[in-house]
Amino acid sequence: MDAGRLRNLYTQAQLLVAELRELPLDNNRESFPRIIELVRLVKRLEDSAHDLTSDAADVLAQRAAWLQRATWLREDVASLAQERVHSPDTKQFFLNLLLLLYAGVDAMEGLAQQKEELETALHASEQAKQQLAQRLAGAEAAQADHVSVPRSLLEEALEARSKLVVAQQQLAAREGAGEDAGRRLQALKAEVEQLRVQVVELREENCSHQQLAEERLEVIRVLMERTEGQAASLSERAALASQVTNLQSSLEANASVVDKLIGLNTELMERHNALAVRLHHAAHGGGGGSHGAHSTDHANSHAVPPQKLQDTASEAGAKPEGFRQGIPQHPAAIGSGKSALVDNSLATARDVAAPPSQPSFADALASFLSSSDTNHASSSNASTRRHK
């Protein structure tokens, strides 16, 4: 193929590239047939460049130049096809591939139809050639039989030879077009097969991505279940911590009450001792010795030893061993200790013979202890409700 034919193919390919770049990317129904036609032109250009097999230096240079131009066009075709086929949506991507395959199939059917038309025309030309050959053979036989041939037969034979030459030229041109159509058909078949392989690979890749996504979803589900279990455990721990805080507050309140009871017990002992001293002095200063001795013995018999009162208050006011170790005790245990302290203090106050001028102290002590007991019961009930 001469350089003019190569230049014509290259110009047609460049025009198609320009048209494709002007078309919008979403107009695939018009761009894909042009891409198939561009592939056909690039393939013909490469084949024609490879057909330049002369060893001359200028022919080799032309061959390298045309092969380089074909390479540039092939890169343009790949870029244009990628722009129109690629899509972030997998479904749209496969739809674009399917449309490209449809365009290739349409081009194949068009080429097959053209090939069939060319073969029909070639067959008609061969029949015409055979008829002309038969007529020429008949004319030559008639000329051999007759020395003198009429002029009309000579003209007819000359016209038949001219038509035969034209028919042979047309036949050669159609044979070249048929071979070109066959090469185009083979190129399209190879491209369609390559696209099918790509579709299979993409489907396998899509399946692997789906399996990986399912595995990741299963891992996420397991992690969420573990997180929910840990959240429930943390909620229980927070509830227990709140209960511990409430119990500690209750124990601290009870400890302050016990401290106040110890102070009141100390004050009570001091007043009791002072009362015993006054009774002793009154007994010795006012009357007979026997009566004073009897009053002193009576006061000493009813007096509560200070060490006993202090030990009782210490036992009732001491904090439970569990609270010292950070383990809260039940409020009933604390209340029982405080109740024992209240009973002992009231019994001691009743046993001591207070003078008429001090009747309100025991009543005030009993009222204070009763109010403390009521406050402790309210605090215990509130803690029990919060625990529930």
The model's pLDDT over 321-363, given as tens digits with 9 standing for 90+, comes to: 443 434 344 434 434 444 444 344 444 444 433 444 444 445 5
Mean pLDDT, range 225-232, rounded to an integer:
87
pLDDT at position 374 is 57
Q: What angle do CA 187, 193, 197 make, to 5 degrees?
A: 145
pLDDT at position 61 is 80
Look up the pTM and report it: 0.32
Supply 295's token pair. Answer: 């009053």
pLDDT, tens digit, 9 for 90 and up, residues 141-153 = 766 665 455 677 7
pLDDT, tens digit, 9 for 90 and up, residues 61-80 = 877 888 888 888 888 888 87
pLDDT at position 264 is 93
Q: What angle do CA 147, 149, 154 make, to 5 degrees?
A: 140
pLDDT at position 179 is 85
Lowest-confidence segment of 201-210, 229-238, 254-263, 375-384 by average pLDDT: 375-384
- pLDDT beyond 60 at 296: no
pLDDT at position 151 is 74
Q: What angle do CA 110, 112, 114 make, to 5 degrees?
A: 70
Query: 20 near 80, Cβ under 8 Å?
Result: yes
pLDDT at position 150 is 66
Which of 63, 77, 71, 3 shows the shortest CA–CA distance to 34?
A: 77
More confident: 215 or 157: 215
Query: 84 near 98, Cβ under 8 Å?
Result: no
289 CB-near residues (< 8 Å, 6+ apart) = none
pLDDT at position 233 is 86
Supply 241's token pair. Answer: 């911590």
Domain map of the chain by residue range? Answer: 3-224, 243-387
Query: 41 near 107, Cβ under 8 Å?
Result: no
What is the H or E stretch that residue 341 is in?
helix 331-351
Lowest-confidence segment of 66-70, 153-157, 230-234, 237-241 by average pLDDT: 153-157
Residues, the chain, total? 388
Q: Give the chain's mean pLDDT.
A: 72
pLDDT at position 275 is 93
pLDDT at position 277 is 92
Percentage of the chain beyond pLDDT 90 is: 10
pLDDT at position 219 is 92
Lowest-confidence segment of 37-51, 115-129, 148-162, 180-194 by average pLDDT: 148-162
- pLDDT beyond 50 at 291: no
pLDDT, tens digit, 9 for 90 and up, residues 155-201 = 887 888 888 888 888 888 888 888 888 888 888 888 888 888 888 88
Q: What 3-state DSSP class applies to 23?
A: coil
State the Cα–Cα distance between residues 207 and 213, nearest whole angstrom: 10
State the Cα–Cα distance between residues 164 and 211, nearest whole angstrom: 70
Position 271 confidence tier, pLDDT thresholds 50, 70, 90: very high
pLDDT at position 349 is 42
Query: 128 near 168, Cβ under 8 Å?
Result: no
Query: 72 near 173, Cβ under 8 Å?
Result: no
pLDDT at position 16 is 81
Query: Residue type for 149, please?
Result: V
Distance of CA 176 to the CA centre of its chain: 59
pLDDT at position 72 is 86
Strands (DSSP E) contained in the chain are: none
